Chains A and B, each alone.
Chain A
Amino acid sequence: MSGTAGYEELRLRQVMAMADPDRLRLLALVITDASGQPTASLLAGRDGDVDGVRGHLEAMADAALVARVAGPGGETGYRPTPDALARFGGAAIASPTVRHPEPVDPSDHARLLARITAELARDHAQVLAPETVARFVADSYDLLAARASVRNQLPALTARFAADRLSALVAPVDDGDPASVDAAGRSLDVLFVCVHNAGRSQIAAAVLRAAAGDRVRVRTAGTVPWSRIDPGVRSELARRDIDRLTEMPRPLTDEVIRASRVVVTLGCGDVCPVVPGRRYLDWPIENPAGRSVEEISRIVDDITARVHDLLTDLLPRSG
């Protein structure tokens, strides 16, 4: 199963999996959840049918529409994949125009952004002023709006991106897992930065997530992010069964650098701002965009070897 055949088969499986109103509504909740990776019990609500919700989520996970991640208290969380955002994000978030096609009403976005802001402000009430949260949400929206190819997805992406930025701002997050904290008590955050956040940084992130699981928090960013992952890179990662560990390309921001203990630049060293006290690594890796399958495979091998060395270095005993 490779090339377009695999791509089309997966697309069909995803369409079939989502041809269910309950799953569409569930996906809308997953995409707009402030944590970015809600659990079945969070989504079901207090009196909801947790098993039913989990069943739907597992079916969506089997179609690579959500990725299973370790959530709070050991319960599995579900994070929407780029496929879910690209193919069903618009449908799940925006009302489909039934008769009269018209552009998305900006006031709709304003209303959603106000709700996202209120939700995030409540989440961070102990730490951040509501004005700070509002500024981050507005700023995140602007950053994404500048490059988004599908405007319908903007509020959902903004919610995820702003939530990520805010949690990075209040990091280190101590989730009670000693393995993710180094000897000095700092949590292990690794940030991979490349120019477009569409190839090299995504490869590195997917490999590290696959190798380290929840022992290391992995982030990625690009100095000039594209709106999607390079298709060649994506199919190579799919061949290695780690494509679900990538994320939507996102812009590099100062606070994400500040929250990361290790910053790895892959071909954008001069553009990445340097923050004191962080460990910087620069890996001179060729840009895989537009390369042949063999070249991309070689680049992924190169990055994989470097990531494994880094992990051994970060987690000497278990890596």
Chain B
Amino acid sequence: MSPAEPAPSSRPSRERTPALRATLSREQAESTAALLRVVSDPTRLQILSLIRTSPDGASRVADLTRALGLRQPTVSHHLKVMTEAEILTRRPAGREVWYMIEPARLDAVGDLLR
């Protein structure tokens, strides 16, 4: 079972360039960095943490306002920014709106909050 391409014998092993270079594409890195830029804020990280640990993984503005001790417009602003960045998703139910973490971002957000 020999490697697909023979290693050049003249190359000293210490000088080699890493073989696992392409683990993260430019596009993937940009996408993750964009997520991190949006959540580079103590209140937003707290909001994500509260939503993630809430019973159904969903919270209303009033729940967050109470838990954080912040004014409602402040909380709403953070929610709006994170929804526009597709980190949160809105689910209207009657006269209330519930915020959840966008399913595609759950793993990444969960890792950050560990």
Binding site for B on A (CB under 8 A): 8, 11-12, 15-16, 18-25, 28-29, 32-34, 38, 42-43, 45-46, 72, 86-93, 95-101, 112, 115-116, 118-119, 121-123, 125, 130-131, 134, 150, 152, 159
Contact = CB atoms under 8 A, between A and B. Distances in A.
Contact of A11 (B14, B32, B45): B45
Given A11-B112, A33-B20, A98-B104, 7 more contacts: A8-B46, A12-B45, A15-B36, A15-B39, A45-B18, A87-B112, A122-B3
A92 B22 CA distance: 11
Interface residues of B, number: 43
B108 interface: yes
Given A28-B24, A118-B4, A88 B111 contact: yes
Contacts of B107: 90, 96-97, 101, 150, 152
Contact of B23 (A15, A23, A32, A130): A32
Nearest to B20: A32
Contacts of A15: 36, 39-40, 45, 112
A86 B112 CA distance: 8
Interface in B1-16: 1-4, 7, 13-16
B7 A125 contact: yes
5 contacts: A19-B37, A46-B17, A93-B23, A115-B20, A130-B1
B3 A121 contact: yes
B28 to A, nearest CB: 5
Contacts of A99: 104
Given A91-B108, A96-B28, A134-B1, A20 B33 contact: yes
Contacts, number: 129
- For the complex of A and B, the 5 pairs showing the least CB-CB separation, nearest first, are A21-B29, A19-B36, A32-B20, A28-B24, A19-B37
B103 interface: yes
A24 B29 CA distance: 6
Interface of B: 1-4, 7, 13-21, 23-26, 28-33, 35-37, 39-42, 45-46, 103-108, 111-114
Contacts of A22: 29
Contacts of B23: 25, 28-29, 32, 92-93, 112
A119 B17 CA distance: 11
A84 to B, nearest CB: 11
A23 B32 CA distance: 11
A152 B46 CA distance: 24
A116 B45 contact: no
B111 A115 contact: no
B13 A123 contact: yes
Contacts of A122: 3, 7, 13, 16, 19
Contacts of A32: 18, 20, 23
A29 to B, nearest CB: 6
A8 B89 CA distance: 24
Contacts of B18: 29, 32-34, 38, 42-43, 45, 119
